[in-house]
Amino acid sequence: MAMQERPPVVTIMGHVDHGKTSLLDAIRKTSVAAKETGGITQHIGSYQIQHKTKTITFIDTPGHAAFSAMRSRGAQATDIVILVVSAAEGVKPQTVESIQHIKKAGVQYLVALTKMDLPDANPEMVKAQLTEREVFVEGYGGDIVCVPVSAKKGEGLDKLLEMVLLIAELAELKADPVGALQGVVIESKRDAHRGTLATILVKNGTLRVGDTIFAEHVEARVRTMQTADGVSIKEAVPSMPVEIVGWEGIPKVGSSVTSTKQEVIAIAPAIVPELPAASTAPAVQELPPVTGLALPTAVTVTPVTVATPAPEEKEKPKLKIILKSDTVGTLEAIQASIAGDEILTISSGVGEINDADVLMAESTGARILGFNVKAASSVKKIAETHGVKLKTYTIIYDLIEDVQKQALKLIEPTIDEEELGSADVIAVFEMKGERIAGCKIKTGEITKTQLYHIKRGGEIIANPKIKSIHHNKLDIESAKAGTDCGIVFRGFSDAQIGDLLTSYRVKDE
């Protein structure tokens, strides 16, 4: 059969709380936004909608800073991106990051200026900000489509969808429904009742119930298929996202899906074997450990004979954790966000917290952290009996913040520091999508290369690095006592007026 027109796959990307899910909610006329914890999209969701006589597939990606990898994955699986920017708030850090993902993926995109119903909406200001990021919309030196919308009032939605379909028509998107199966894993997770689930976006061919498929070397015999609305279907055609039951293991998110087994090239395993249903089962096999962390103490390493033994170093304390999440994608995002020399991940996996996790935590001195997973009352009781700290979360940045705070408490008393300089944060403002802390240097000198604490209320809340220092519109290397300057931190965007920035060095023992 000849190639046929297929629906466009559209990803909505942008900064946290700029109205991505509300926009999709308005398009679907459902209540997606209300279902998301804290109003923030936690996972990649995929849906199909009908506009007049055409079908459009949407992928909704998270906007929080922890989900960089998932936003990148969304851009790679899509044909067209709708870059959502609040007309009231303008370009923000995740807006900039989304633009980078879009350009790296080389996909077509258009801009939706959301929240046009707010009194402080200023679309012309936002268009000007976009030009600074080399996004040239119509009327500002380019031909990128820019559509003002209000999800709350339903204004501009028809035009937005018409522009999406126009871009798709010009792109001549095609697939062969009877050709070889091609797809991509958008998300995978372990469900206590249904087993391993994976959402597949079909890119070519037709997927049917009963088919045997492979996500790299993870096999599945498709037992059931469901749409995003929970409707069971017998077959899925190109551009259709479906949730599949029947996997022998948990497929890696981003894996290509075919009807033939693929040769394994990567060294790292691409699956996590499934567990028996009982809570006494062994813990889920560990995913690759977070980069840069030391080996767990349980790992034995055979020493190599050397001429002169190295002097024994005093081991620095580490925050040991066992991490469990509901999906592979979210687990990856959390691991990337908490990576650091002061944090040691003993075990990580997908699935409910079980008593094997508790026993491992007791033997290693770790605490158990769960995201969007539960622990049975019997498991909680075992943890309490054995003195194991166990906590679950539904908001990802609550988990990340707690880990960072606990790590700081652990290492703070053990380090002998010499203060080199200090500065008060006297103003906070946004410029070119970056949060800038306006500082007055109190003592010493602040440079780009020093170690730093940020204290709030007398307590250390972060150990950021400095990305840039600005004075009189110039990028400078350092600022001395009595100087006012603007500082952009790397990995920290929550500076507040009244915070104290201190630079230090660790004293030699």
Model pTM? 0.56
- pLDDT tens by residue, 370-381: 999 999 898 998
Q: How far apart are CA 453 and CA 235, in angstroms?
A: 56
Tokens linked to 351: 């699935």
Strands (E), 87-217: 108-114, 146-148, 174-175, 182-191, 195-204, 207-208, 212-215
Q: What CATH topology corresponds to 2-173? A: Rossmann fold (3.40.50)
Band (411; pLDDT cuts 50, 70, 90): low
Q: What architecture does CATH give domain 415-504?
A: Beta Barrel (2.40)
Superfamily of domain 180-256: Translation factors (2.40.30.10)
Break the chain into its structural domains and give their ranges: 2-173, 180-256, 318-408, 415-504
- CATH topology identical between 2-173 and 180-256: no
Instruction: Examine the pLDDT at 343 and tell me if it is beyond 70.
Output: yes
Residue 264: what pLDDT? 47
Residue 244: what pLDDT? 94
- Tell which wins on pLDDT, 480 or 217: 480
Answer whether 453's CB lies under 8 Å from 460's CB.
yes
CATH of the domain spanning 318-408: 3.40.50.10050
Average pLDDT over residues 470-486: 91
Average pLDDT over residues 37-62: 70
Average pLDDT over residues 73-80: 70
- pLDDT tens by residue, 311-326: 445 556 788 999 999 8
Q: Which amino acid would we find at residue 57?
A: T
Answer whether 468's CB lies under 8 Å from 475's CB.
yes
Spatial neighbors of 392 by CB under 8 A, at least 6 apart, are 353, 369, 370, 371, 373, 374, 375
- Tell which wins on pLDDT, 501 or 359: 501
Q: Which amino acid would we find at residue 282?
A: P
Tokens linked to 363: 């033997």
Q: H/E element holding 35?
A: helix 32-35
Band (342; pLDDT cuts 50, 70, 90): confident
Instruction: Examine the pLDDT at 355 and tell me if it is beyond 60.
Output: yes
Residue 98: what pLDDT? 84
Q: How far apart are CA 437 and CA 430, in angstroms?
A: 9
Please name the residue that has the structure tokens 């923030």. Answer: 40
Tokens linked to 358: 């508790």
Question: Which candidate, 170, 308, 168, places its Cα nearest to that of 238?
Answer: 168
